[in-house]
Copies of this chain bind each other. A is one copy, B any other.
């Protein structure tokens, strides 16, 4: 009997089932430095202890996406090892900042199941929660993946679809403990624009591009202990290409968005997200933002902006990123709907 992990197949999931993921991970200044080396990340809150203290925090927290990738990476061996496709994200909220020295764990609950009509695959919805060493929730989000069935003959379960709202309501956003932007330094942050300067419908082309190399996306993906073969092994796909982990594109887009949204210091929520088209080494990734909504928050100096963060393989000069049939244009890699926190 094999001792290696064969991953779970569609039949292995049951509604309400809770999966406790391996391996706990202590994050440090090392991960922080590597993040800066891997992505053109410049947001001051996660770059400077002094700046973070000026915003009420004890020191500079790790980038929110370090939290996301670490929590996500742990789910791969249990949730997506036999996935055919990573279909989407939704209802995600960042609940607590993570600091160097914190140790993260992940658990997932199965919240939806639906076999596909071809009988060979099914869709699994999970709600994943990341917790720190004190058992405090730091992040929760839903994700759905298409997973292979072990045996096409297995009868289909009754389909159960989770009731996922299309967005996190502004009133449910959690402002990180003690975070405030009352004495915010717009000179040091690198951008004079406040929350009030952004208008719903506004589209920002973030201008800069990054051409991806194999070494960078593999190092990043390993850093989050994401073990999916397709990212590392040229023999894992018929075309011999190494698929870039979707989260790598999320981080590139977020980092590139500094140029035009440098004051979006914190991600508060993930309303929805899809990896529209795959990316490979050699692709040059550009980013753009469309402002979708604005809201006040529980802290008067912090405004929330709902934005569509887009990544593509060409500059994204307009908010039109889909064909008339609703399909994303072929150069669009990421379509991510998030809430971010900005100084008012």
**Which residues on A are within 8 Å of B, measured CB to CB?**
2-5, 20, 22-26, 28-34, 36-44, 47-51, 60, 77, 100-101, 103, 105, 133, 187-191, 193, 197, 204-211, 213-216, 218-220, 222-223, 225, 227, 229, 232-236, 242, 259-262, 284
Contacts and interface: CB of A to CB of B under 8 A. Distances in A.
Contact of A207 (B4, B60, B188, B223): B4
B49 A26 contact: yes
Contacts of A215: 213-216, 219
Contact of A105 (B37, B188, B242): B188
Contacts of A103: 48-50
A18 to B, nearest CB: 11
A101 B50 CA distance: 10
Nearest to A54: B24
A188 B37 contact: no
Contacts of A5: 190-191, 259
A27 to B, nearest CB: 8
B48 A26 contact: yes
Contact of A50 (B24, B31, B32, B100): B24
A261 B34 CA distance: 28
B28 A219 contact: no
Contact of A232 (B33, B40, B197, B225): B40
Given A28-B32, A223-B36, A213 B218 contact: yes
Contacts of A29: 28-30, 33, 100
Contacts of A77: 190
Contact of A216 (B193, B218, B234): B218
13 contacts: A3-B204, A4-B259, A4-B260, A23-B48, A26-B47, A28-B32, A30-B33, A36-B225, A37-B220, A40-B222, A49-B101, A77-B190, A209-B233
Q: Which of A2, A38, A219 has the most CB of B within 10 A?
A: A219
